[in-house]
A and B are shown apart, each in its own frame.
Chain A
Amino acid sequence: MLEFLNYLALSWLDPQLLFLTAVGTLAGIYVGAIPGLSVTMATSILISFTFKWDVNSALALIAGVFVGGVYGGGRTAILLNIPGAPSAIATAIEGYPMARRGEAGEAIGLTTVMSVFGGIIGIIALALFAPVISQFALMFNSRDYLLLGLIGILLVGTLSGESFAKGVFAGGLGVLIGMVGLDPMTAEGRFTFGTISLMGGIPYIVAMIGFFGVAEAFVQLQTLDIPAVKQKIDRIVPRFSDVKRYFRVAIRASGIGTIIGALPGTGGDIAALLAYDDARRSTKNPQVPFGKGAKEGLIAPEVANNAAVGGAFIPMLTLGIPGDAVTAVIIGALFIHGLKPGPLLLVETPHLFWFTVGNLALANVFLLVFGLTGIKVFTKIVECPKAILMPLIIILSAVGSYAIQNDPTHIYWMLLFGIIGYFMKTYGFQVGPVILGVILGPMMDANYRRAMIGARGDVGEFLWNFVSHPISLVLSVSFILMLLSQTPLWPWIKSRRARKAGEKSSQETRR
């Protein structure tokens, strides 16, 4: 019993581990904030030079980068409207309008405190429920992952675009881009047009940099002469009343984040979007309307993506299944250090489990410290004239696109996506669903085919499976309800019900 406490506190007491976690978290915040640099990339680079270290030091550094990076993505989303990571797409919707009003300091302070809150909840869940949650996650079938992916894209499609059709179109385009390359199951080329460079597919980071970074830089050209908004940074530590006020949203978002993070294959990105949507639906009277800088909508995704970190470790440590791209890389790191993530890890190396729990908690403490202190330097970036910022964004985007696979053609893809993104933004399309489609498309494709093979290619059986299993039924019903709520049918039913209720009450008053 005492032994596990010892492992839990190991990184808090060992100066070297303490230092490495601190460095990792600080680096993670800045890496996560730079749009071209992804946490996945940073983690994989880190692994390439930490594999000679002992396992605790390597894990301390990687945990720090992971926690810091997930949080850092929200910073550029708030300050520049460019999400540093896909999990910060929803953050930009509410955070950027706040920065445009000069409230970036407040927005960052609030997200920092709430992110740490979510992170801690996720870690508590990891410590308490790892075995239980992994059992539940094991019950998810391939069709359930397909439904989760569809719901994720649909959610982004409905968020703040001009029309539902445009959101769906963007999601489809993303899935299509994600399909390019050799099919992972049969190695047949899809949309490769016989060229070798397309066989490896188009990495989602290239699409993300193009649609967000480059397209945004082009859009910014139109407002070049408008002076940058001076950011008020006097208030960084959020008011206690604010923290209390948004506590309900934070609790809900941490629950969503933890559970979604614990589902293999889904990570902070879907968690953040679901939490944002939940906050939007469950908040009756926001002080500021959603889409214009509602703090509820700013907090929810940030809490959820940090809670998803703890959640993502659950299937990773107990099942050996990655929750998202970063945990996939961390699994690789564990293997390098001779550990076998999976059901036996908790039995064979329980100390590693408790060390990870303690370490993630420590990283969150550092997140609070660094998150609340470095803001002044950070907000200076936004006050920098756009004429300087725009060329720099282009250069960072080019480096980021090239660095993934050292392939110059990815830079041209980035430019093409940037131009398409510029026109899409101009004509009222959302680019968020495109990115989510690119990321989730291959996962959905694989799960669709697995489900279809499971049903022996019989369409009737395939469809029956969607309603005959409890988890699938719940997901199918929510998917159909979400679709219906976007069609003209929904307001019609609502108005009919309202009219009936009105007739009833008028009859009653007549009596």
Chain B
Amino acid sequence: MAISRRRRPGELTFVFILAGFSAAALWQAYLISGFSGLSKPGVFPMLAAATMLVSGLFIVADAFRAGAVRSDNGLSVFSRFVHDVTPLRFMIMLAIVAAYLFSMPWLGFVVSSGLFLLVSLLYLWRKSFWVSLLLAIAALGAVYLIFRIAFQVVLPKGALIPPGIF
């Protein structure tokens, strides 16, 4: 087979992780009920994990066959990975999103979402503080109105926020 494409930076590592995960999943599926019967709860998970493992090995082989990562400008594979796959903006937003989601049980939906909206708008949109604040409040108000008032969806309450306030 002719080399039709080049590997993306980090691809080899990723597909190896996938294959490893499949093997671990197969082992965990085996632990459910082993080979004790063909209609036991563990059989279908084992089939699913085995399918993943086999296709995962094909994917690994395919990644090996592909050409090496393009290395223009003399950049190493790792710095290409950082540049293409995990750029700074992605990592910062990931951290902000994670902080938002993990703070929700403590601050409650309204406070944590308001802070998240404000911070991410300031970082991504780069307009003045007051415009961002106004937009954050308006957007949050709309979300609250649609979900809490119209659809009666229960929104997470915060452990640190006194009951009765949002």
Contact = CB atoms under 8 A, between A and B. Distances in A.
Contacts of B42: 190
Interface string A382-402: 000111101110111011001
A173 B52 contact: yes
B153 A224 contact: no
Nearest to A36: B147
A462 B113 CA distance: 53
A399 B52 contact: no
A157 to B, nearest CB: 9
B104 A448 contact: no
Contact of A427 (B15, B101, B121): B15
A489 to B, nearest CB: 15
A449 interface: yes
A185 B154 CA distance: 31
Interface stretch (A84-92, A126-134, A199-207, A403-411): A403-411
Contact of A394 (B45, B55, B116): B116
A304 B98 CA distance: 38
- Grouping DSSP codes into helix (H, G, I), strand (E, B) and loop, the A interface class, with mixed when no group exceeds half, is helix
B48 A441 contact: yes
B124 A165 contact: no
B58 interface: yes
Contacts of A503: none
Contacts of A388: 121, 124-125, 135, 139
A221 B48 contact: no
- Grouping DSSP codes into helix (H, G, I), strand (E, B) and loop, the B interface class, with mixed when no group exceeds half, is helix
B111 to A, nearest CB: 13
Contacts of B89: 221, 224
B52 A403 contact: no
A419 B93 CA distance: 12
Given A395-B113, A399-B109, A427-B14, A218 B93 contact: yes
Contact of A459 (B38, B100, B143): B38
A interface, how many residues as a size bin?
35 or more
B130 interface: no
A176 B25 contact: yes
B41 A183 contact: yes
A45 interface: yes
Interface string B23-41: 0010011001100011111
Interface in A437-452: 437, 441, 444-445, 448-449, 452
B152 A45 contact: yes
A403 B90 CA distance: 27
Given A408-B105, A426-B8, A449 B39 contact: yes
A191 B42 CA distance: 10
B116 A172 contact: no
A415 B98 contact: yes
B59 A452 contact: no
Given A45-B151, A398-B104, 14 more contacts: A163-B59, A168-B51, A169-B18, A179-B29, A179-B44, A222-B87, A395-B143, A399-B143, A403-B153, A408-B104, A408-B105, A411-B104, A445-B44, A448-B43
18 contacts: A45-B151, A169-B56, A172-B49, A175-B45, A175-B48, A176-B48, A183-B41, A214-B97, A221-B87, A395-B116, A395-B143, A398-B104, A402-B154, A403-B147, A427-B11, A428-B8, A452-B38, A452-B39
Interface of A: 37, 42, 45, 49, 163, 165-166, 168-169, 171-173, 175-176, 179, 183, 185-186, 188, 190-191, 214, 218, 221-222, 224, 385-388, 390-392, 394-396, 398-399, 402-403, 406, 408, 411-412, 414-415, 419, 423, 426-428, 437, 441, 444-445, 448-449, 452-453, 457, 459, 462
